[in-house]
Structure 1
Amino acid sequence: MSKNVSIKLENIQEIIDDNEPQQINNNYQGEFYIKNEKLYLSYEDDAEGMDGAQTIVKIDPEQERVLLLRHEPAAMKQDFICGKKQEGYFKTVYGEIKMAVKTKRLEMEIGENSGLIRINYQVYLGGELNAEHHLKINYKILKGNL
């Protein structure tokens, strides 16, 4: 059974060779559900250029893993496992860009009606370090769903 949820994403990007970190904050309404002992957040990404792409965050507290999947038109896959470098991709109108993410820190505070996930990771494009990210995903089950 899914529950309505509010999701707040905060991402600070530090692009290599750029002295100015960029902060991106987005708020979404979506769904929260549990399947095979994994937690899922699902929402439509209405950020610029995403055109309502369906996004799924799969949270596996037991394996200490977070998988971020976004469907067309801005398809993306990022797999976060602390201390590991994982292959992924990002599709644009110009084609698919191969990338990898190396997770430096992954913290999860999962409660019955809310949760907070912190991920510090590096993005590699073409094997080269491109950026450092500090991502925070905060979610709360909306009243009426408790």
Structure 2
Amino acid sequence: MLKQELKEVSTAMEQDTNIPVSVTVESEIQMGDDAERHHTHTDGTLIHKGSATYLQYKEVIEGAGSVNNVIKITNDGILILRSGSVSMKQKFLIGQTTKGMYDSPYGQLWMETTTDKMNFRYNQQKKEGDLLLSYGLVLQGEDTGKHTIKIAFQGAKA
């Protein structure tokens, strides 16, 4: 089902105007006094379709391989779809706990996210924006701490 949804999103994206963007992803996992940080820079595509905005980019996960990411942003919430060496479908709703699955080379894990912050800004004239997502994550019944993802993007230089 996830592959079909990703195919539908990709097909819908091909029919709309795509804006090539440069994407910077910063993630932090806070567990007690310990923090783990990751920083990625890649190319992506920003798509506006109806009332939804999509940000699509590819990342390489060390030891796992390539992953395609599609982030759907609407007034209702954020949906993250991942496919490739790992796959995931997770909805983020402010103040709510949502359930999803995470498939990795090591097996399938169930997950619950409780979203406490979500902010999306986009300046159409400058073709730049950012997304902030902060949530608690329980993976296979284990609390994995407080996760924060900051994504900044800007129109790619021609």
Does TM, normalized by the shorter one, top 0.5?
yes
Alignment of 1:44-83 (within 5 A): 44-60=58-74, 62-63=75-76, 65-83=77-95
The aligned counterpart of 1:87 is 99
Q: CA, structure 1 residues 50+66, in 2 after alignment: closer, same or farther (shift >3 Å)?
A: farther
* Higher relative contact order structure (alpha carbons within 8 Å, sequence separation ≥ 6): 1
Identity between Structure 1 and Structure 2 (%): 24
Residue type matched to 1:121 in 2? Y
Gaps of 5+ in 2: 1-16
Give the alignment's TM-score, normalised by structure 1: 0.87
Root-mean-square deviation (CA), in Å? Answer: 1.6
The alignment status of 1:102 with 2:102, answered yes or no, reads no
Question: 1:82-127 CA distances to partner (integer Å, 9 max, x unpaired)?
Answer: 1011111211123210001110111122221111111110001234
Q: How does 1:97-136 map to 2 (within 5 A)?
A: 97-112=109-124, 113-136=127-150
Q: CA deviation at 1:40?
A: 0.8
Aligned residue in 2 for 1:4 = 20
> Given the two structures, how large is their TM-score scaled by the length of structure 2?
0.81
Give unmatched runs, 5+ long, in structure 1: none
Question: Could you tell me how far apart the structure 2 residues matched to 1:46 and 1:135 are?
Answer: 16
Task: Report how many residues are paired.
Answer: 140
Q: Secondary structure at the match of 2:91?
A: strand
